[in-house]
Amino acid sequence: ESYGYTATDAAGNTVTGTITIDIVDDVPTAIAPQNAYLVNTTTNALTGLLDVDGQVEDNFGADGAGSVLFSDSLNGASALDADGDPLTSGGLSIIYSVSEDGQTLTASTLAGEVFTIDLTVNDSGQDTYHINMSGTVDGGDSTIDFNSGDYDFTGGNGAWAGFNTVTKVGNDYFNVEDDSNDLLLTPINAGSVNTTAQTGGVGNAFIGHLQGMRVDFVVDLVGNPQGTPYSVLANQDHTFDKHYTVNGASATFTSCSDASVTITAFDDDDSGVNSNKVGDGSQEIITVIGISYGGEMQQVTSIVAGLDTGYTVILDGNTFTVTFNSNGSATVDGVAEGTIISSYTANGYNSIEYVNSAAGDDFQIGDFGTTAIEPGEEVAFSVPVEIVDGDGDVASSSLDVLLLPEGTQDYSSESAGVTVAASDVSPDIIGSDYDDILTGNADSNILIGNEGSDTISGDGGDDLLIGGAGDDILTGGLGADVFAWNLGDEGSSTTPAEDTVTDFTTGIFGTDVNADKLDLSDLLSGMQDGEDLSSYIQASTVGADTILHISTSGALGESDTSAADQTITLEGVDMHGADSAAFLQSLISDGQLDIE
């Protein structure tokens, strides 16, 4: 704004001029939510800080208190992982929705809710977010076609049948323990399974009125399905290691023009006396039915169709009626030659039944396939979060989430430090907020120290080591290891966090088998494009070691590291006479230093 003025002295002399005042609208500063590490299991939950100091009020600025919320742009958006690939649950795409007040983000598929994130700003306490898992995010899945060359068909006209893997020695076939995801077929209201590898029925070549076929998804199926009827216990001689979880399992229906199929899904219990048994599981509610016919496909949800009400689907001129029954099953009428039906529940299932439910056509069933859910891989994703000040100015940030596989050893709620070693069954570990000793094994481990001064050793494999806040000692061991830091792990300029990497191996990351990486991208997330890297990180030599001095606010001076709030000592790493800038650039060029 510009303002004219006139000044008059005691003698009446005057002078005029202009005063220009630049009014700069104060804006909020971005928050830095605490990273979320939790196990990818149903009913798991985690509460974390919305900002590293637990307070967002000091981020609003002079314009006064506002709010922290999820952007409206997330409404209807597909959830993406850290690589930009779509997140799925049970093979179905995860879609976001935001509450009217912007405080709750819900992630759902057509089959139901997967997780929610709630934001809470507490004027008199810490400001937090809360993640609640009601389903699981696929941490890896595989599509299985049991009619492919990877499987052998067992049976044909016996008490049961199946698809499994075998090995051939001469003219003899032997079952192998290879942890294969196999398929077990058993009859419903009939004494035998009469089928080829492609299609068949029960009792005879067809499935008649009130008859059906049960499909169990099992690991390492073995046995001799020759005797009948199946109701005789001695003929139920199939054995397997356990069930595995699937979703979207499909079957093809043939030899019919107007059949009615009722589908029921279960989660079978493999513990104790139930091992190797079928038909004793708890029922899962079917929430989505997919129908493929004549080259066209449509998915129907129970939310759209309602309960106990027929919903019409027309594909390639054929009329299907889908009914989601109040008992949790689903019925599809109008099933014609070549119809493929896939079934989904909110959290997957491990067995499913197909029953001829009306006095319509008999049918044959076959060409089984599914998506096997394998939550054995970690899932990383970020959710954008906005802080809005009193007059509507916005600063954007993100909440980073790492979901660890089921079976992870989780000590985050412990009230004291722990000493824990990885195992083949549970290779990943989340430590406590105290001083922990975490040790990996030959697998590629994920080892997270959380708070406290931790000692973490990866042993073999390509490990991810995250010390967290505190002064940590990190040893990768053999393999290409990643050492990662997050904003909030640092200390202060008066008391910086002092971490040590004992065995950082130089080389080209991703090419040299033991070359390691330092991931400082989150720790340096405040660095803007074009800023001088030396304001944020500098390297120096002390004896045989190299020390990285880091300022998360970019406050380092020229050859002055006194403002560092984080140091990382790389034991035994020689800069070979290079100055700081050249050494850091060599690490970046070799993929060993990630700063963005």
**Lowest mean per-residue pLDDT among 95-104, 151-160, 199-208, 397-406:** 151-160
Tokens of 24: 């700069």
406-436 confidence digits (pLDDT tens): 889 999 999 999 999 999 889 999 999 999 9
Q: According to the model, what pLDDT value does residue 376 have?
A: 64
Looking at residue 196, what is its pLDDT?
Answer: 83
Instruction: Give me the pLDDT at residue 65, please.
Output: 75
The per-residue pLDDT for range 288-338, each reduced to its tens digit, is: 999 999 999 999 999 999 999 999 999 999 999 999 999 999 999 999 999
Mean pLDDT for the stretch of residues 228-242: 89
Long-range contacts of 131-134 (CB under 8 A, 24+ apart): 131/36, 131/38, 131/45, 131/46, 131/47, 131/48, 131/401, 132/45, 133/38, 133/40, 133/41, 133/42, 133/43, 133/44, 133/45, 134/42, 134/43, 134/346
| Closest of 247, 249, 236 to residue 276, by C-alpha | 236
The pLDDT of residue 4 is 78
pLDDT in tens, 175-221: 556 678 888 999 999 999 998 878 899 999 999 999 999 999 998 88
- The pLDDT value recorded for residue 107 is 97
40-86 pLDDT, tens digit each: 888 899 999 999 888 888 888 766 678 899 988 999 999 999 999 99
Residue 330: strand pairing partners = 263, 324
Can you give the pLDDT at residue 275? 63
Q: What is the pLDDT of residue 68?
A: 92
Q: What percent of the chain has pLDDT over 90?
A: 64
d(CA 567, CA 579): 17
Surface-to-core class of residue 354, CB atoms within 10 Å of its CB (0-12 exposed, 13-18 middle, 19+ buried): buried
> In the 3-class helix/strand/coil scheme, how is 433-468 assigned residue by residue?
CCCCEEECCCCCCEEECCCCCCEEECCCCCCEEECC
User: Does a cis peptide bond (omega within 30 degrees of 0) precede residue 225?
Assistant: no
Q: Which amino acid would we find at residue 47?
A: T
Q: Tell me the mean pLDDT in the region 485-513.
A: 95
Angle formed at CA 35 by CA 85 and CA 522, multiple of 5 degrees: 75
pLDDT on residue 116: 97
Calculate mean pLDDT across residues 228-254. Answer: 90
Q: Are 551 and 538 in contact (CB under 8 A)?
A: no
Contact 568, 546 (CB under 8 A): no
| pLDDT number for residue 432 | 96
Percent of the chain with pLDDT over 70: 92
For 28, 49, 469, the CA distances from 126, given in Å and listed in that order, are 18, 7, 18
